Amino acid sequence: MAIVTEGTPEGAAAPLWQALAHEMRVARGLLEQLAGVLVTDERFVLDYIDQLQAFDLIAQHVDESAALLDRVAGGQSPGEAVGQVRLTVMQDRLRAALD
């Protein structure tokens, strides 16, 4: 599966993918800042501990997605790049998308 912007020579979209990966990392940082604020309230943490764990999972997904974009933008094949995703369920879904 080639990820190419229509009408754009292969590889020409790489700077866009790298910029998108950077934006995803910025979003992860914002999410972590929000989580940091929320956990300063002990009562809130006790009431919502299970829901707060979702912040970490979201951050991991964003980080893996950004890393995947960087690998593909760097010329790695999509299949090889997906193979390096560390979250198994995410890797499985992405492999299914390539099939």
Mean pLDDT of 38-54: 91
Give yes or no for residue 13 having a pLDDT over 90: no
Give yes or no for residue 63 having a pLDDT over 90: yes
Count CA within 13 A, CB hemisphere, residue 70: 13
Query: In terms of pLDDT, which residue wins out, 11 or 70?
Result: 70
